[in-house]
Structure 1
Amino acid sequence: MRANLRPEEKIFVALDYDNMDDALRMAERLGDTIKTMKVGLQLFFKSGPEILHRLHEMGFQVFMDCKFHDIPNTVAGASDSVTAHGVYMFNVHCAGGLEMMKRAKEAAIKRAEASGIQVPKLIGVTQLTSTSQAMLNEEIGIAGDVQRSVLHYAKLAQQAGLDGVVASGHEIAAIREACGDQFLTVIPGIRPAWAASDDQKRIMTPAAALAAGAHYLVIGRAITHADDPKAAALRILEEVR
């Protein structure tokens, strides 16, 4: 599957803005360099579904990154609603359990078929890239190391019928071994060598992540905070090629 993706299809740009105008200006500045924009909690709750439709009108695919985590019935309803907006991909927290993930996938398929649209890719969030070993054990209360937790959730997501998982670049090889090469890996915490790491702990360069077998890379500040975002995106695309 990775071989079939063009470089501009492998990168999702995180539009982490607090208003729609700035987000759309950034998308416009990037033009046709990148195909998919990621809309997270802050932007979606500020702009509502309109941001999804505006990006679609501009020709972009949308990865809706709102990480659903609730009882199965509630998450199934949320999955139905977001699928109706025609997003390319959305995610749920694997910690919600097997039944929740199954219901989310079933609802997405049912809504897509009823609406005559493509079924969105549904991705499970394993552990956030801000999660350190100490945080996992001492605050969240999960024993063992981070990779063990990530693999457990990845296998659970695959059992539930999800298309893949969100994980850090350091877990890609282990996920591929456990779940196979066709099970998608969406990797945040991607930083080119020339960009700062900010608040994320488990980070990796684009080239290293792709060499490890990543399907998609989520990149935000390295592009959106650059003096010339389009030049930064093109520089990263060259690295991806």
Structure 2
Amino acid sequence: MFLSRRVPQLPTPEEALPGRPAPGFELPSRHTVLGNPLAGPYPDHLETADFALGCFWGAERKFWQTKGVWTTLVGYQGGLTPNPTYEEVCSGLTGHTEVVRVVFDPAVVSYETLLKVFWESHDPTQGFRQGNDVGTQYRSAIYTQSPAQTATAESSRASYQQALSAAGHGTITTELLPAEGRPFYPAEAYHQQYLDKNPAGYCGIGGIGVSCPVGVAKADD
């Protein structure tokens, strides 16, 4: 049994669990709602985005309900331990956060629109928690796949911070880093599309009622 730390704190490389060279489970082949493959490689016209906004069960549903999203899968990213298990991530000793990988068609939905879904679906000012869910694995994060995504995410963050400040909210704590060098490890099969399989299951995802402006942030060509 792994026990969460009383005060959430990211582990040092020396503290991090060793992990394993390969996952100990087989990923389901297809998305239970969208019907498309979970694992890549994906069709060339699609793009990928990685978002962490609290418990990934509810977060994933937010994105699979978005028009233009081709598939989604949940996993762990931003940490130190290779191929971690859910229990290890919950221990706080891997450094990962719970992430939704969103594979989308940019001809149908823009990355900026996905950022709007991201910002409006959680409270990005809470640090190592989201509502009653406390731990480093619940921190808000965006892991970008390209310089264009980074520029768009940074501009969107600045715009949303202005909106939050105007509404009396605090400072955004969202981790915004390149996905390169921060591998995405798919979560166990039972976590994938969890709320489709368990419609009455727990969902800790909810925004704070502040709209994110769209149209102010623009990626470089």
TM > 0.5 between the two?
no
Instruction: Return the structure number with greater helix share.
Output: 1
Q: TM-score, normalised by structure 1?
A: 0.28
